[in-house]
Structure 1
Amino acid sequence: MSKFNVRKTLFGSGIIAGKETKAAGKYSNFELLRRVTLTNLLFESNYYQSADEIMTQMESLAHKVSGSQLVELALECRFEQKLRHTPLWLLILANEIHGAPVKDALAKVANRPDMTMDVLQMLKVRNGSFKMSKSIKKGLAKAFNNYDAYQIAKYKKNNLEVSLVDVVNLVHPKPTEANEQALKDLVRNELQPANTWEVALSAGADKKETFERMIAEKSLGSLAILRNLRNMIEAEIPRMTIKDAISQVNSPWLTPLNFLAAQRNAPEFTADIDEAMKRTFAQEKIKGTTILVIDVSGSMGALTSQNSKFSRMDLAFAMAATGSYIFEDMILVFTAGSDQRRKGEHMVWTNSSGLGIFQDASSIVAKLGGGGIFTYQLCEWLKEKCYSQVADRLVVISDSQDIDAYYGDAKTPDTTPYNTSYIIDISSHTHGIKTNNWTAEINGWSDKVFHYIKELEKPRANPFTLN
C-alpha cells in the first residue's frame, strides 16, 4: 500500500513548478523518491522536467536510500500503481548501487514475458551489454515460472532489439509443466503464434470476422477490448456485439485511464464503458460521507508527460469517476480561483457522475476561473457552507500548486472537522506542498489510493503501521 508521510526530521530543496519557494514541502530522501516514481512514466518528459532529469533524479536519490527501500518501492510501483518500466529500473538500481538481492522481487514484478526483455534493454542502454549480476539473472529465470504457453507465444517478440529467446538463452529458466513445450518450441523457432487479434490480422484475416470470432470465444483480453472499440466500430461490428464485448471487460490490471481512453474513442458507448468501469473498481465500498475535491486550476491542464494524451485534470477526473463508484456517499467539489486576486472559487457538482463528469469538464473550468488551488480557503468554505459538518472524511486531488501556501501568507488548512483527511498529489515534480496536518499525504493516480484509504481507516493499535 502507499505509505503516508509520518512527521519526522525532513530535508530537501524547496522547488515547486521550477521555482524556489519557502512553501515547498520538505521531504526525506525516500519520500522524494516515492514522489518521483509513483507519478511518472519512466523515459517520458513532463511539463516541468525532462525524462533525463527524472531518471537522474531517481538515480541520485537511489544512492541516498537503502536497497530494501528500493525493492519495496519497486513492488509498490508495479502492484499498486500498475507501472511497468519504473519498478524494473528501481530493482536494477537497488542491485547495482546497494548490492541488494532482487531475485524474488524481480521474479514477482516481471509478471509478463515482455518485461524480461525490458530488463535486458535497460541493461544494454546502461552498460552497453546484457551483462548482469547473478541476482538479476536468477530473478529473470525465476520469472518464467509465471508464464504459460499462451503468454510465451504472445510475447515471443516485441519492438525492442531483443526477443524472448534471447532472454531464455541468457538466463536458462527451468521449465514448468505449463511452459516446458513452449520454451522448447521457442528456442527451436517452432512456436506457433498465440490466438491474438494482432496475429490474426497480420496473417490476413478479415477484421470484422476476427473480432466477432474472438468476442464470441471470449478470447479477447480486457485491455484489447477497450483499445479496439474504434476499430470494431469502423469494421461495422454490430452494436450489440460491441456491447457484449464491453460486458466481458474484467481485469485487475486496468486503470481509470484505460476506460477514459476507451470513452474518448467510442463516446457512443459511454454508458457501457462506465458500467464496466464501475464493475472493475467498485467491489468494495468506503462507508460514510466523503467530500472529494478536484483541483481544476490552470496547472492541472498540463500533460502528464511528453508523450501522453492525458492531462493532470484528466487523471483527477478519472479518479473522481472512480471515487463515485467506491465512496458510499460522495459530495463532489471542484475548486480553482483567481491567482491575481488570490481568491479561491469552489462549487459542489451534482450534474453528473462516473465518466459523465468528463463531458462537463470545460464548463466546470470556465465557471471557476482556472487559477490555482487555495487549500486554506477551500477548507474554510466547506465549513462556511456546512459541508464539513456532515462529512466523515475530506479527500483533495491536486498537483500541489497551492497559491495560498506559495505566497506564504495563509494559515494552515483546517482539516480538524473530519475524522480523516487526505491530499492526493498527482503531480510529478519533485516537491509539493507539505503541511503535515493531513491524515495522509499520498502520491500517485491509480485506484489503489482509495483502497489505501479504506485500509488506513481499519482499526489498528498503531495508526502508523499497516499490517
Structure 2
Amino acid sequence: MSKFNLKKSIFGTGKIAGETTAKAGKYTDYELLRRVTLANLLFESNYYQPADEIMTQIENLCSKVSGEQIVELALECRFEQKLRHTPLWLLILANEIHDTPVKDAIAKISNRPDMTMDLLQMLKVRNGSYKMSKSVKKGLAKAFDNYDEYQISKYKKSNLDLSLVDVVNLVHPKPTAKNEAALKALVNDELKPANTWEVALSQGSGKKETFERMISEKSLGSLAILRNLRNMIEADLSRKDIQNAISQVNSGWLTPLNFLAAQRNAPEFTSDIDKAMKNCFSQEKISGTTILAIDVSGSMGGITSSNSKFSRMDLAFAMAAVGTYVFEDLILVFTAGSDAERKGAHLVWKNGYGLGLFDHFNDIFGKLGGGGIFTYQLCEWLKNEGYAKDADRLVVISDSQDIDAHYGSAKIPDTKPYQSSYIIDISSHTHGIKTNHWTAEINGWSDKVFQYIRALEKGLD
C-alpha cells in the first residue's frame, strides 16, 4: 500500500525540520529501532517480504539493543500501534539474535489464529523451513489458549502455504476447555463453518434473511458491513436496519478508503457512514494545532492504478476527511495555482468536514486554478497570513508535482515555524518536493500515516 522514505540526515544528526535543535539530540540505538519500526505502520500488510530494506534496518538495530527491549517494543507495536506483522518479526529477531525467551510474548501478541500462520511463514521465508526454537514453538502452542471455536473455524484456512491444522500439527497445542472440541474437529476435518454471511449464503439462506439476522446478532464484522451496504440495499433491507448495521462499525483496522468506498456505494447513507468513520478515527486525537494542506492540482485527478476506481484526489480527500477527526485543532487548507503564471493559490476551508468535503470539491477546485502545487509559496503564504504563527505542525498531502521545484527554484519550503512538519506523497512521483527540511518525508495514503505522526512525536517528547 505504501512505503516510508526517511532521509539519512534524520538518523542521529539531530535535525528536526531542517534545523539542529536541542530537542532532537542524538538518538540511541533503541530510539532508532523504535523510529524505524514505527515506519512499518505505513506498509506492514506486506511486511514479511524479505526484500524490504526496512526489515534489514530493523535486524541491524536489533543486534545493538537487548532482547528484552525488543520484546517490549513488539508488545507496543501490537497493542498500541495495532500492527500485525511487525511485532512477530521483532520476536523472531529477539529470539534468534539474543536467545531471549519469547514464549509468553508470542502467546499474547498472536491473539488471532492467522497470526500463528504469519509467524511460521516469516520463518520459512527467512530460513527456508518451518524449523523453530523451543521458545517459539511453546509460544505458538500457548497462543491457542486465546482461541475459541468461532476463531478457529473462521481462520482455519489462509492465503499462505499452510493452514491452521498445519500449525496444530507442528506445535501440538494443549487443548483447553473452550477449544478442545474445536481442535479435535479441526484435525479430523469435521469443524463446522463459522457464522459469517458468506457461509450463510453458500448454505442457501437468502440475503435479506442473513443480513437481518446478523445485524440483529451484531455478528457482522465492520469491514463486511461497509462492503455490503449496496447488497443490503438491493436485498430490500429497511433503512433502519442498514443504519443499525452502520452504527455497529467500530474497528481500528479500517482505512479511510473503506469508508469512501462505502459512501460511493451507498451515498444515501453518507451521514451515517461519516459518523462511523468519526467513531473509528477520533478516539485518540493528535494534540495541538495542525495545518493540513491538501494538494488539489490537476495531476491529483489521475487514477491511482489501472485496477483502481479512485483518483489521487480521492485518496487525499479521504485522508483529509479522517484528519478532521484525528487532529485536535485543525486548520484545513487546499492549495493549487496557475502553472503559466508560476503562482500558487491557497484556501482555508471552514465549510464542512468528514466525508462532506467531497460535496464541495467543485467549489474548491474552481477557486484555485487546478495548476500544480507550489510548496515554497504555500509555506510563505501560511506565514504571511498568520496561520503558521500558532501552529504546532504542518502536514502537506500531495503527489509531488511541485511547480516551484520543477522549474528549478532554489527556494526551499520554510518549515522552521513549526515544531514538526511532514510531507506525505500519495503517488510514486518525486519531482523535487522532498528536501531534508521536514521532520519526516512519507509515502502513503492510509490513516496509519497519522498514527505514525502521533507515535513519532511521542518518541520525540
Measured against the shorter chain, the TM-score band is 0.7 to 0.9
CA distance in 1, matches of 2:168, 2:84: 20
Q: Which residue of 2 aligns with 1:335?
A: 335
Q: Structure 1 residue aligned with 2:42, among 39, 44, 47?
A: 39
Structure 1 residue matching 2:137: 3-state secondary structure? helix
Structure 2 residue matching 1:276: 3-state secondary structure? helix
Q: Which residue of 1 aligns with 2:397?
A: 397
What code does the residue aligned with 2:436 have? T
CA distance in 2, matches of 1:129, 1:7: 37
- Equivalent positions of 1:92-111 (< 5 A) are 106-111=106-111
Confirm or deny: 8 A CA contact 2:38 2:452 kept in the other structure. Answer: no
CA RMSD of aligned residues (A): 4.4
Structure 1 residue matching 2:51: 3-state secondary structure? helix
Q: Which residue of 2 aligns with 1:358?
A: 358
Q: By how many angstroms is 1:109 displaced?
A: 4.5
1:270 is aligned to 2:270? yes
Q: What are the superposed Cα offsets for residues 299-319 of structure 1, whole Å, 9 maximum, x if unpaired?
A: 655666786655554443222
Q: Which residue of 2 aligns with 1:435?
A: 436
Q: Which residue of 2 aligns with 1:423?
A: 422
Q: What are the superposed Cα offsets for residues 347-398 of structure 1, whole Å, 9 maximum, x if unpaired?
A: 2223432012234446645654555433321111112233334645433334
Q: What are the superposed Cα offsets for residues 273-330 of structure 1, whole Å, 9 maximum, x if unpaired?
A: 0011112222355566432212335665566678665555444322211222244443
1:374 is aligned to 2:374? yes
CA distance in 1, matches of 2:52, 2:456: 33
Q: Which residue of 1 aligns with 2:188?
A: 188
Distance 1:32 1:182, change over 3 A: same
Q: Which residue of 1 aligns with 2:149?
A: 149
CA distance in 1, matches of 2:117, 2:424: 32
Percent sequence identity over matched residues? 69
What code does the residue aligned with 1:464 have? L
1:209 is aligned to 2:205? no
CA distance in 2, matches of 1:97, 1:416: 41
CA distance in 2, matches of 1:401, 1:32: 28
CA distance in 1, matches of 2:239, 2:59: 55
Distance 1:32 1:281, change over 3 A: closer
What code does the residue aligned with 1:116 have? T
CA distance in 2, matches of 1:341, 1:70: 53
TM-score by length of 1: 0.74
Q: By how many angstroms is 1:201 displaced?
A: 1.1
Distance 1:41 1:392, change over 3 A: closer
Q: What are the superposed Cα offsets for residues 7-50 of structure 1, whole Å, 9 maximum, x if unpaired?
A: 5556xxxxxxxxxxxxxxxxx99699669744336559xxxxxx
Deviation larger for 305-314 or 292-301: 305-314
Structure 2 residue matching 1:253: 3-state secondary structure? coil
Q: By how many angstroms is 1:235 displaced?
A: 1.2
Distance 1:43 1:279, change over 3 A: closer
Q: By how many angstroms is 1:134 displaced?
A: 4.2
Q: Structure 1 residue aligned with 2:51, among 47, 51, 55?
A: 55
Confirm or deny: 8 A CA contact 1:298 1:372 kept in the other structure. Answer: yes
Confirm or deny: 8 A CA contact 1:293 1:396 kept in the other structure. Answer: yes
Q: Which residue of 1 aligns with 2:383?
A: 383
Confirm or deny: 8 A CA contact 1:39 1:426 kept in the other structure. Answer: no
Gapped regions of structure 2 (runs ≥ 5): 14-30
Confirm or deny: 8 A CA contact 2:342 2:404 kept in the other structure. Answer: yes
Q: By how many angstroms is 1:130 displaced?
A: 3.3
Distance 1:330 1:194, change over 3 A: same
Q: Which residue of 1 aligns with 2:17?
A: none
Q: What are the superposed Cα offsets for residues 125-170 of structure 1, whole Å, 9 maximum, x if unpaired?
A: 6665433444543443343233222211211223444221111111
Confirm or deny: 8 A CA contact 2:70 2:91 kept in the other structure. Answer: yes
Distance 1:182 1:362, change over 3 A: farther
What code does the residue aligned with 1:295 have? D
CA distance in 2, matches of 1:266, 1:153: 31
1:116 is aligned to 2:141? no
Structure 2 residue matching 1:55: 3-state secondary structure? coil
Distance 1:43 1:218, change over 3 A: closer
Q: By how many angstroms is 1:100 displaced?
A: 7.4
Gapped regions of structure 1 (runs ≥ 5): 11-27, 45-50
What code does the residue aligned with 1:55 have? A
What code does the residue aligned with 1:224 have? A
What code does the residue aligned with 2:234 have? E
Confirm or deny: 8 A CA contact 2:415 2:421 kept in the other structure. Answer: no
CA distance in 2, matches of 1:400, 1:88: 34
Deviation larger for 238-247 or 318-327: 318-327
Distance 1:236 1:399, change over 3 A: same
Q: By how many angstroms is 1:223 displaced?
A: 1.9
Q: What are the superposed Cα offsets for residues 399-422 of structure 1, whole Å, 9 maximum, x if unpaired?
A: 55655456664444334445x343
Structure 1 residue matching 2:460: 3-state secondary structure? coil
TM-score by length of 2: 0.75
Structure 2 residue matching 1:294: 3-state secondary structure? strand
